[in-house]
Amino acid sequence: MPRTGGAATRGPPQVNTGGGTAPDKLGHMAATHTYLTGIQTSGEPHIGNYVGAIKPALAAAESSDTLYFLADYHALNSVKDPAKLRHSIRSVAATWLACGLDPERTVLYRQSSVPEVFELATILSSITSKGLMNRAHAYKAARDRNAAAGNEDLDAGVNMGLFNYPILMAADILIMAADRVPVGRDQVQHIEYTADIAGTFNHLYGESYTFPIPEGVYPEGEASILPGVDGRKMSKSYDNHIPLFLPENKLKKLVRRIPTDSTPVEDPKDPDTSVVFQLLAQFADAERTAAIRKRLEAGGMGWGELKNELFEVLNAELTPLRERYEALMHPDSELDAILAAGAVRARERARGVLSRVRAAVGID
């Protein structure tokens, strides 16, 4: 089970999308949470994202109110090629739908379709100290890189979008009055900042409106961190990733190229130090994984055969998804209509929160 962390939730969200609540036998309403997460549209999803983020988020959507959005304005900070950004927005949306996101159940929308987010970001800026932003990890890391490179201007290459990133992210979450945010552990500080900013707002304006204080929902343990083909954590930034929707022949080639040592076929091998085996274990069922582990440890199974097994299980799971993805990426697919419908639902919710926030601060 994922674990929640961060600040305690004060009170239920004040706006509800309506789904996910049912009275129990005594007629009490079950406590519900609103899950929200954003996915930057800055590149092609890989099998690490699939195992570590997409699958858990789709599992959460089975039982909770969920809003998942494409953080295209966050991506704009780093992606300066319009064609690439445009493609990535459709590609990330198609990926979620191809992997099983049900757009009736989950509100799927583009951040840029909800201008209320940006109005709330302006309001939040007025109550957020610059010092808090100075201490943000991503900003500090950029300054450290400049210092290490001997650059006198520590802010070289830092745009205001990067500096303000945590405020925009707080607005993404608070505009929907979401109280649960499933994200990777690299986002802990952003969630803490959001809780902090919401707390400041509540302290100042709480008599008129209070935001629920959101909590992060983080994957537990290291088990779901997939290694990349070079053994480090799989990441776009290391270029060691296996893209989720590679065509079959390219997937086969990439799996074949995963480096292995020169242990002869007949010698025993340690599955726990093998990237190929670790990837296989995420996709093969327990029985098949155990049988292969045994054969590796006993000797007699070569790396080539292990790679064939990995390709087979990967391809079996991904083929139907890849087909749906390709259909959705077609210009005439239902993708744009799904995003448009999601935007209508998201805006309705956002407008409700924003009008109460505006009234609370005196701009109504």
Rounded Cα–Cα distance for residues 148 and 135 (Å): 18
Sheet holding 65-71, edge to edge: 3-5, 215-218, 180-182, 34-40, 65-71, 106-110
Which of 123, 244 has the CB closer to ligand ADP?
A: 244
Which of 87, 236 has the CB closer to ligand ADP?
A: 236
Rounded Cα–Cα distance for residues 163 and 139 (Å): 6
Q: What is the closest distance, in whole angstroms, from the C-beta atom of residue 112 to ligand ADP in the complex?
A: 18
- Give the closest residue to 314 by CA, choosing from 258, 361, 233: 258
Q: Choose the binding region for ligand TRP from 33-41, 78-86, 257-265, 273-281 (rule: CB under 6 A).
A: 33-41
Rounded Cα–Cα distance for residues 101 and 97 (Å): 5
Residue 233 binds which of ligand TRP, ligand ADP, none (CB < 5-8 A, kind-dependent): ligand ADP
Q: What is the closest distance, in whole angstroms, from the C-beta atom of residue 49 to ligand ADP in the complex?
A: 4
Rounded Cα–Cα distance for residues 135 and 189 (Å): 10
Among 72, 172, 196, 215, binds ligand TRP (CB under 6 A): 172
Q: What is the closest distance, in whole angstroms, from the C-beta atom of residue 187 to ligand TRP in the complex?
A: 6
Residue 215 binds which of ligand ADP, ligand TRP, none (CB < 5-8 A, kind-dependent): none
Q: What is the closest distance, in whole angstroms, from the C-beta atom of residue 152 to ligand ADP in the complex?
A: 30
The DSSP 8-state label assigned to residue 27 in this structure reads S
Rounded Cα–Cα distance for residues 154 and 19 (Å): 48
Which of 35, 209 has the CB closer to ligand TRP?
A: 35
CA angle 332, 336, 337 (to 5 degrees): 100
Determine contact, residues 184/218, Cβ cutoff 8 Å.
Answer: yes
Among 75, 136, 173, 213, binds ligand TRP (CB under 6 A): 173
Residue 38 binds which of ligand ADP, ligand TRP, none (CB < 5-8 A, kind-dependent): ligand TRP
C-beta neighbour count of 47 within 10 angstroms: 24
Binding residues for ligand TRP, rule: CB under 6 A, are 36-38, 40, 71, 74, 169, 172-173, 181, 183, 187, 190
Binding residues for ligand ADP, rule: CB under 6 A, are 40, 48-49, 51-53, 183-184, 224-226, 233-237
